[in-house]
Structure 1
Amino acid sequence: MRTLKVENNDLVYKNGRLVQLEGIDALEQILGNRLKLFLGEWFLAPAEGVDWIGLVDQGPFLQPGFINAIKTALLKEPSVTSITKLDANFDRAARQVTITFQVQSNLGVLSSTVSGGNL
């Protein structure tokens, strides 16, 4: 597995060349991007992404629906075989989502935390 390294929504260059991530590092970035993608945001794949607006724009925060949407997004990645740990929180005042997960993949075990705002 290989992908271009992205930091702060920009491609990373080193010595004038694009930096690539491989293996578990590539998977971590891919899953982070998948979780940050809003449903319909990417015009080439409008069915991809998480319906963050629908999940947080409802009355009370519903943890089960939130967790199910995250599980679905993680398991869409073909190299992920199972989710071994998952925790997600939404801070309505800060409009911030924090997701901590551990997945088993064909590349090994990956533990990561993804957070983002603007919800």
Structure 2
Amino acid sequence: MTSVRFGLAIDQATNDLVLTSSGDLATVSDAEAVGQHVRQRLSTFVGEWFLDTTAGVPWLDQILGKAYDPALAQSVVKAEILNTDGVTEITSFSVSFDKATRGLIIRSVDVGTMFDEEVSI
């Protein structure tokens, strides 16, 4: 397993790169980088990234493209989280399905990391 130790900071609200007050690219490291990597993986649809069409969550094929199955949805999302480099365990997990928008809402997820720190996703 390769470890996620460093990355560029991504603003959770806008998904844009974060700049420091001096105009440099902000970075994240260790547990914070692992958490950010989990968020990125959960935001990627399988087949979306041309360099690795197997990367991402099968949102349309397994979760949102058919009748909603809560057990399947949770299983698929948890598997994606646990397959993220640096994640050692899921310590809390809360999702719900919004019938009006037909969307899976990830309410809260906390994961343990290889850095012996817990991160909220």
TM-score between the two structures when normalised by the length of structure 1: 0.83
Q: Does 1:36 align with 2:60?
A: no
Q: Percentage identity across aligned positions?
A: 30
Is 1:4 paired with 2:12? no
Deviations 1:82-102 (A, max 9, x none): 222222112131344322212
Match of 2:82 in 1: 75
| Higher RCO structure (Cα 8 Å, ≥6 apart) | 2
**Aligned pair 1:109/2:118, yes or no?**
yes
CA shift at 1:104, angstroms? 1.6
The code of the aligned residue for 1:103 comes to: V
Which residue of the other structure, out of 93, 99, 110, is the alignment partner of 1:92?
99
**Ranges of 4+ aligned residues in structure 1 off by more than 6 Å:** none
| Distance in 1 separating the partners of 2:24 and 2:99 | 40
Q: CA deviation at 1:16?
A: 2.2
Any stretches of 5+ residues in structure 2 without a counterpart?
Answer: none
Partners of 2:102 and 2:25 in 1: CA distance: 33
1:6 counterpart SS class? coil
Q: Which has the larger share of strand?
A: 1
Deviations 1:68-88 (A, max 9, x none): 111111111121112222221
Counterpart secondary structure, 1:32: helix
Question: Equivalents in 1 of 2:59, 2:47: separation in Å?
Answer: 11
With the length of structure 2 as denominator, give the TM-score of the two structures.
0.82
Gaps spanning 5+ residues in structure 1: where?
Answer: 113-119
Q: Distance in 2 between matches of 1:68 and 1:97?
A: 13
Which of 15, 18, 27 aligns to 2:34? It is 27
Aligned residues, how many? 111
